A and B are shown apart, each in its own frame.
Chain A
Amino acid sequence: MTPVHAMLAAGGPVIPSFGKSSSCVQDNGAFCFDWIRDNWDSTFQPALINHLKLTVIAVGIGFVLALGLALLAHQRRWLITPLTLVFATVFTIPSLALFQVLVPISGLTVLTAEIALVGYTLSILFANIITGLREVPAEVRDAARGMGLSDRQILFRVELPIALPAVMAGLRIATVTVISLATIATVITVQSLGGPIFEGIQNDFKTKYVAAGLLTVVLALVADGLLVVTQRRLTPWARARRA
């Protein structure tokens, strides 16, 4: 035996260890908590944070744009019908198709995803804000004018607060929708929670995609819950009216 062989023989058999994987993972179990815990930082947390970023940006921009457009249409009534038609059309486009169609235009980037997400948010929020503003009873508006308020004051001190429940309802729907659509955005950019889902399914690694899927569901429910609480806080008079 050469010196090398002697050394190797003395050390015992060499068993390569590719890392620790529990029996749960090796059996491809649906929910291996240990794997999730070990890989939270590398897999789930970045995806979750990116997902949140996508959502917040889309809803934020969408809300600002929708509010601006709604206020504009509130002043110039002739804008309402065409804008509503445009948004209703966007609303109907299947999200998967919209993402794919935008790819040749702006590439496989976050921008493409955001364009689509903002589009859907706009569709939802515009309708809600406009309706909320229109539902303000005429008598209330008359009373405000009788009190001497200017148009702008009426808008900010009377109409918008009364429209707030409709706006919040729209925000709830929009946020929850965007969270769901952001998972589908994974087909064009892997940065959301859809990434682990897609990768997990391609590699048939159950825990990865089940955990990511559950995470999306929990995220959506938590966001919905938070917005409900915010809505109740911001509109105490609606509570009293209902009671």
Chain B
Amino acid sequence: MTVPVGDISAPFTFLWDQWDSQVRDNVLQQFGYWGAAMAIASAIGLPVGVWLGHLHRGSFVAINTSNIGRALPTLGVLAVGIGVFGLTFLNIVVAFAVLAIPPILTNAYVGVDSVDPDAVEAAKGMGMRPREVLVRVELPLALPLIFAGLRTSALFVMATIPIAAIVGGKGLGEIINNQASFRLSGVIGAGILVIVLALGVNALLGVVQRLVTPRGLRLSGADSRGDAPPAKSVLPTTTTPEQ
């Protein structure tokens, strides 16, 4: 077994040289898949999760969605989706959306469900109607967990999109899966880029979270209550490695 001790700057040189011809297109494709999948997953997962949490119902559905979703093998879901619906942009996006919904839905549910009942009582006592309670009290207080779910999904989807290349999709997986053409430096370079993008969207959503959290909650530190555990924490993670 020989360990190839190569030029450590080779992956970065690769990214730089091949940017125009290959890498930039792949990055745009990644964002295309990612954006569409996140949009669909949020459009489905957020309303359902928030609504169930507000009603304090359907915990069985919410928790088990998360369990089943976490268990789904990415390549399996992609294969079934493509087989049944064909290899198109939309089908790949749908497969990733399916994988992205569980963390969003479950976290939204748990976030709204676990809002301090005293706060809800106080709001009702002030005369707020259920919808007002939801929008003005429950949602802001649930924001940390909701965003934790969004960020988990965002990171997971971005880091998993390369898998689509195995089944003929596009994205940085085209490079990673093609060591013959792009050499090890290319594979490592694209791999590093994927990690950077995944952590990048996670950080970006963190900024959005900060901007969206009402000032009062931000000052009280409540906005970091439900932060997705940072990669370096010792907490057991509920996310799975990029598959």
Chain A interface residues toward B at CB < 8 A: 30-31, 80, 84-85, 88-89, 91-98, 100-101, 103-106, 120, 123-124, 127-128, 130-132, 134, 166, 169-170, 173, 176-177, 179-181, 183-184, 186-187, 193-194, 197-198, 200-201, 206-207, 209-210, 212-217, 219-221, 223-224, 228
Subset of 14 A-B contacts with CB under 8 Å: A30-B84, A94-B242, A96-B166, A100-B184, A104-B2, A104-B4, A105-B4, A124-B237, A131-B236, A132-B236, A177-B243, A180-B240, A216-B73, A217-B73
Contact: A212 with B234, CB < 8 Å? no
Residue in B73, B232, B235, B240 whose Cβ sees the most chain A Cβ within 10 Å: B73
Q: Residue B79 contacts which of A96, A100, A166, A210 (CB distance < 8 angstroms)? A: A210
Question: In chain A, what residue has the closest Cβ to B237?
Answer: A127
Please judge, given known A-B contacts A84-B234, A92-B242, A124-B241, whether A100 and B177 are in contact too, CB under 8 Å: yes
Contact: A217 with B234, CB < 8 Å? no
Tell me the complex Cα distance, A206–B75, Å.
14
Mark contacts of B1-12 with chain A using CB atoms, 8 A cut-off: 1 yes-contact digit, 0 otherwise: 111100000000
The 7 A-B pairs at the shortest CB distance, nearest first, are namely: A97-B191, A213-B79, A210-B83, A216-B76, A180-B73, A183-B75, A213-B76
Tell me the complex Cα distance, A95–B2, Å.
22
CB contacts under 8 Å to A, within B186-243, are: 187-188, 190-191, 194-195, 198-199, 231-238, 240-243
Is there a chain A Cβ closer than 8 Å to B135's Cβ? no
Tell me the complex Cα distance, A120–B237, Å.
13
Contact: B79 with A209, CB < 8 Å? yes
With a cutoff of 8 Å between Cβ atoms, the chain A residues found around residue B4 in the complex are 104-105
Question: In chain A, what residue has the closest Cβ to B232?
Answer: A88
Give the interface SS of chain B, mostly helix, strand, loop or mixed. Answer: helix
With a cutoff of 8 Å between Cβ atoms, the chain B residues found around residue A106 in the complex are 1
Tell me the complex Cα distance, A25–B179, Å.
34
Question: Smallest CB–CB gap between B216 and chain A, Å?
Answer: 32
- B: contact size bracket: 35 or more
Tell me the complex Cα distance, A206–B79, Å.
9
Tell me the complex Cα distance, A223–B76, Å.
15
Question: In chain B, what residue has the closest Cβ to A100?
Answer: B187
Contact: A100 with B77, CB < 8 Å? no
Question: In chain B, what residue has the closest Cβ to A85?
Answer: B232
With a cutoff of 8 Å between Cβ atoms, the chain B residues found around residue A132 in the complex are 236
Tell me the complex Cα distance, A198–B83, Å.
12
Question: In chain A, what residue has the closest Cβ to B167?
Answer: A201
With a cutoff of 8 Å between Cβ atoms, the chain A residues found around residue B167 in the complex are 197, 201, 209
Please judge, given known A-B contacts A94-B191, A97-B194, A201-B79, whether A127 and B74 are in contact too, CB under 8 Å: no
Contact: A217 with B76, CB < 8 Å? yes
Tell me the complex Cα distance, A96–B74, Å.
12
Q: What 13 new A-B contacts, CB under 8 Å, besides A89-B231, A186-B166, A215-B76? A: A95-B243, A101-B184, A127-B234, A169-B236, A176-B240, A181-B241, A184-B243, A186-B75, A193-B76, A200-B79, A201-B79, A213-B79, A219-B73
With a cutoff of 8 Å between Cβ atoms, the chain A residues found around residue B74 in the complex are 180, 183-184
With a cutoff of 8 Å between Cβ atoms, the chain B residues found around residue A184 in the complex are 74-75, 163, 166, 243
Is there a chain A Cβ closer than 8 Å to B82's Cβ? yes
With a cutoff of 8 Å between Cβ atoms, the chain B residues found around residue A131 in the complex are 234-236
Please judge, given known A-B contacts A97-B191, A100-B179, A105-B3, whether A180 and B173 are in contact too, CB under 8 Å: no
Please judge, given known A-B contacts A105-B3, A124-B241, A166-B236, whether A194 and B75 are in contact too, CB under 8 Å: yes
